[in-house]
Chain A
Amino acid sequence: DAGITQSPRHKVTETGTPVTLRCHQTENHRYMYWYRQDPGHGLRLIHYSYGVKDTDKGEVSDGYSVSRSKTEDFLLTLESATSSQTSVYFCAISQGALNEKLFFGSGTQLSVL
């Protein structure tokens, strides 16, 4: 357990509404990541952070934004949710270097109706 907590665990929302998912870690890791996992696509990186206020885009960043105002919290926001954003979202941290061993949170199941 790398001390990662995701909230909420489940969420159902309507198309066009904003949604924020939270990732909280307790072990002061520098690198944090947001992934989505969909059948047929596997895990895909949305955004990652390499420090407070330092973030960068992943391969599927369109429609998502992130913020990291504190080391322990990494927020993922869907500004206007669409049905294509229905997915399981995982937060992860890496111990040590960027893109090294990843440890994942429990995930958030998001359904956009």
Chain B
Amino acid sequence: QKEVEQNSGPLSVPEGAIASLNCTYSDRGSQSFFWYRQYSGKSPELIMSIYSNGDKEDGRFTAQLNKASQYVSLLIRDSQPSDSATYLCAVSRDDKIIFGKGTRLHILP
């Protein structure tokens, strides 16, 4: 079982709709959870962090965490063409942080 798993995509979403990105992880000792956005040819950029079960909202972004199901997701409301990128899920415990391979998101104008 891969430690952090994401669907590679591409996930195509119409402009203005909600994009839903999912991530599962295998280590129940994981403590911190992150979403990074990476545009083609650029470096990853932190967009959300979440540490406890439930939802965390920041502007158009909502991160959701369910530790019992070992599942973390990112919702992007009112999707814009500028949201087209690869989204990396990262899961951390004290001694390591593991990145998923990313989901490519394409917002259709």
A interface residue numbers (CB < 8 A to B): 40-45, 90, 98-107
Contacts and interface: CB of A to CB of B under 8 A. Distances in A.
A99 B95 CA distance: 7
B88 A42 contact: yes
Interface string B83-109: 000001010111111011110000000
B40 to A, nearest CB: 12
| Interface of B (DSSP majority class) | strand
Contacts of A100: 32, 92
Contacts of A105: 43
* 5 closest residue pairs by CB, A with B: A42-B101, A104-B43, A43-B99, A99-B97, A99-B92
Given A99-B95, A100-B92, A101-B34, A90 B49 contact: no
B49 A106 contact: no
Interface in B26-83: 32, 34, 36, 42-46, 49
B15 to A, nearest CB: 28
A20 B74 CA distance: 37
A36 to B, nearest CB: 11
A44 B90 CA distance: 11
A95 to B, nearest CB: 10
Given A41-B101, A42-B102, 17 more contacts: A42-B99, A42-B100, A42-B101, A43-B88, A43-B99, A90-B44, A99-B93, A99-B97, A100-B92, A101-B34, A101-B46, A102-B34, A102-B44, A102-B90, A106-B42, A106-B43, A107-B42
Contacts of B100: 42
15 contacts: A40-B101, A41-B101, A42-B88, A43-B88, A43-B99, A44-B99, A90-B44, A98-B95, A99-B97, A100-B92, A102-B36, A102-B44, A103-B46, A106-B43, A107-B43
